[in-house]
Amino acid sequence: MKKIGVLTSGGDAPGMNAAIRAVVRVAIYNGLEVVGIKRGYQGLIEGDVINMDVSSVGDIIHRGGTKLRSARSLEFKTEKGFNRAINVLKTFKIDGLVVIGGDGSFRGAAKLCENGIPTIGIPATIDNDLGYTDYTIGFFTALMTVVNAIGNVRDTSTAHGRTNIIEVMGRNCGDIALYAGLSGGAESIIIPEIDFDIDEISENIIRGKNRGKLSSIVLLAEGVGKPYELAEELELKTGTKTRVSVIGYLQRGGTPTPYDRVLASRFGAEAVNLLINGDAGKVVGIKGNKIISLNIKEALEIPREIDEDLYKLTQILAI
Ligand code: ADP
Ligand code: F6P
């Protein structure tokens, strides 16, 4: 292994820059050459490749987004596009690749491995929707943004005596809603993994009001959706004015939290070590604060399960 490449792919996540920095510096420390591939798999197809040295990753650890930019590439999924990507890797004499992204990016990485390219995946997505790892890069930063938003909404909600629905991202995973809901003291949390009962939520709001609560926050995961319909129904059932905030892309940007920077640095180092040791075809992750790695395909088959105990706790705390 003489030269490795690194790219970021799919939805960007705060902390991706810290991961790029770790990959580049740990590789150089170990005597490897490093190139960066811009705009994920699309940039790979187009040969958008740049040399990376120690200073190329300076001044980025604290920045959200990704210095290498990102993309969702339909072309990479076609045979023609995929073959072009393989040719570019050969042309630039890239012996190994680090892919920083979510499950879609990992599926692409698995295909590259099958075609003889030693590849390692680093999990980075705000959704925290990968089953094999406790946490993904970006999740805790997104949580921080959402929790700050809950605080702001709570101020105005209390001033007016309203219910506020806050919709957060996460695709089909309810982790952002669950963890942010718990941290922000939400009265109700609605996630795709657990059925909800509108009457129970309404009763909870009315009970709170009767004991002097001035506001209620309902955290809604985008995987359940329909926030405006829910607001109408809740308003009808509770007699309380109900407003909606969809946080959207605000929660994908911003300076990464220290935890995300540490996680990204540890993942980046492990990814390079695996490539150096000829142990490719894997994804790195974290389980109980221990850095782990496992076969990409096996990792992708592990379903993400919601922490039901944590959900139950949020219900108890919102009585
Ligand atoms: P994320 O990595 O954040 O989950 P996507 O699901 O959009 O984001 O995946 C990122 C990119 O990975 C896609 O645009 C595509 O180029 C590539 N990709 C996704 N699924 C596959 C697949 N089954 N085979 C090959 N490449 C894939
Ligand atoms: O996967 C990250 C994510 O932000 C999801 O939470 C959201 O559903 C999706 O990406 C949005 O995708 P796009 O950036 O393509 O609009």
Task: For residue 220, give the CATH number of its domain.
Answer: 3.40.50.460
17 and 131 in a single domain? The answer is: yes
Domain that holds residue 105: 3-138+256-300
Q: Is residue 305 part of a domain?
A: no
Structural domain count of the chain: 2
Q: Is there an atom of ligand 1 within 6 Å of 64 CB?
A: no
Q: In what order do the strands lie in the sheet with 242-246?
A: 188-190, 216-221, 163-168, 242-246
Same domain, 177 and 284: no
For residue 108 and ligand 1, the question of a CB distance below 6 A is answered with yes
Q: Per 3-state DSSP, what percentage of the chain is helix, strand, and coil (rounded to 5)?
A: 45, 20, 35
Across the range 138-147, mean pLDDT stands at: 98
User: Are 130 and 147 in the same domain?
Assistant: no
The pLDDT value given to residue 269: 98
Is-catalytic flag, 53?
no
pLDDT(183) > 90: yes
What percent of the chain has pLDDT above 70?
100
Q: What mean pLDDT is reported for the chain?
A: 98
The reply to whether 20 and 122 lie within a common domain is yes
Q: Categorize the per-residue pLDDT at 72 as very low, low, confident or very high, splitting at 50, 70 and 90.
A: very high
Find the mean pLDDT for residues 230-246: 98
Q: Indicate whether residue 104 lines ligand 1 (CB < 6 A).
A: yes
Q: Is residue 309 part of a domain?
A: no
User: Is the pLDDT score of 159 beyond 90?
Assistant: yes
Residues 195 and 269 both lie in one domain: no
**Number of helical H runs and strand E runs in the chain:** 11, 11
**What does the buried/exposed string (b/e) look like for 274-308 if buried means 16 or more CB atoms within 10 Å of the residue's CB?**
bbbeeebbbbbbbeeeebbbbebeebbeeebeeee
Give the number of the atom of ligand 1 that is nearest the alpha carbon of residue 125. 3
Dihedral in degrees, nearest 10, Cα atoms 72, 76, 78, 80: 150
In the block, residue with structure tokens 């003291």 = 185
pLDDT at residue 319 in the model: 86
Nearest residue to 293 via CA among 316, 312, 273: 273
The 10s digit of each residue's pLDDT in 83-94 is 999 999 999 999
Question: Which one is catalytic: 127, 129, 175, 260?
Answer: 127
Does residue 306 sit within a domain?
Answer: no
Digit-coded pLDDT (tens) for 92-132: 999 999 999 999 999 999 999 999 999 999 999 999 999 99
- Mean of the pLDDT values across residues 256-267? 98
Which atom number of ligand 2 is nearest to the Cα of residue 10? 1
